[in-house]
Amino acid sequence: DILVGDRVPAAARSVPLAQADGDGPAVDSVAVPPGRSVFVRSVGLTGAGQDTGSLFLVTDSGVMHGVWDD
């Protein structure tokens, strides 16, 4: 399931990302189930770049690793 919005569900534990920028445009926190990670692709606010955006692995501790894609 992917949830997007202003708030994280009450039962979820969110952790701040190292790249958090407060009121800026970047994502500030993430909620990933303990012991899991997520593979994500960045896209523009309009959805542009769905096939070409940068790839990341985000861990349950909030560490975001860039993934090189050839």
pLDDT of 10 over the 70 cut: no
Asked if 31 and 14 touch (Cβ cutoff 8 Å), the reply is yes
Provide the pLDDT for residue 67.
93
What total number of domains does the chain contain? 1
pLDDT of 5 over the 70 cut: no
- Per the structure, the complete domain to which residue 30 belongs is given by 1-70
pLDDT of 36 over the 70 cut: yes
Q: Which residue has the higher pLDDT, 31 or 57?
A: 57
In percent, how much of the chain has pLDDT > 70? 76
Q: Which residue has the higher pLDDT, 14 or 12?
A: 14
pLDDT of 29 over the 90 cut: no
